[in-house]
Amino acid sequence: MPRGFVSIISPAHRPATLSACQISKSATPCAQKAESGFLYGSHAVATRPDIELRPLAHRVLLAQVVAGAVVTLIALAIYGRAAGLSALIGAGTGVIANLYMTFMALRPARTPHGALGRLYFGQLVKVAITVGLFLAAVRFTHVVWPALLMAYAATLVVFWWVPYVSASQPRH
Q: Same structural domain for residues 60 and 111?
A: yes
Q: Are residues 113 and 140 in the same domain?
A: yes
The answer to whether residues 74 and 159 belong to one domain is: yes
> In angstroms, rounded to a whole number, what is the distance separating the alpha carbons of residues 24 and 32?
14
**42 and 58 inside one domain:** no
Same domain, 96 and 34: no
86 and 119 fall within a common domain: yes
Q: What is the largest CA-CA distance in the chain?
A: 61
Write out pLDDT tens, residues 38-53: 333 334 444 444 557 7
For the chain, the average pLDDT equals 76
pLDDT digits (tens, 9 = 90+) for 79-138: 999 999 999 999 999 999 999 998 888 888 889 998 899 989 999 999 999 999 999 999
Name the band, by pLDDT with cuts 50, 70 and 90, for residue 149: very high
- Give pTM, 2 decimals: 0.67
- Name the residue range of residue 67's domain: 53-168
The letter for the amino acid at 27 is: A
Q: What span, in angstroms and rounded, lies between the C-alpha atoms of 160 and 169?
A: 15
The angle formed by the CA atoms of residues 33, 36 and 39, to the nearest 5 degrees, is 45
Asked whether 7 and 14 are in contact (CB, 8 A), the reply is yes
**40 and 86 belong to one structural domain:** no
* Cα 137 from Cα 129, distance rounded (Å): 12
Query: Do 119 and 160 fall into the same domain?
Result: yes
Same domain for 152 and 76?
yes
Q: State the DSSP code for 107.
A: S
Going by the DSSP 8-state scheme, the letter that residue 16 receives in this structure is S
64 closest CA partner among 129, 146, 149, 154: 154
Q: Are residues 11 and 68 in the same domain?
A: no
Does 87 lie in the same domain as 9? no
User: Are 90 and 142 members of one domain?
Assistant: yes
Residue 83, SS3 per DSSP: helix
Q: Domain count of the chain?
A: 2
Query: Which band of pLDDT confidence, cut at 50, 70 and 90, is reported for residue 35?
Result: very low
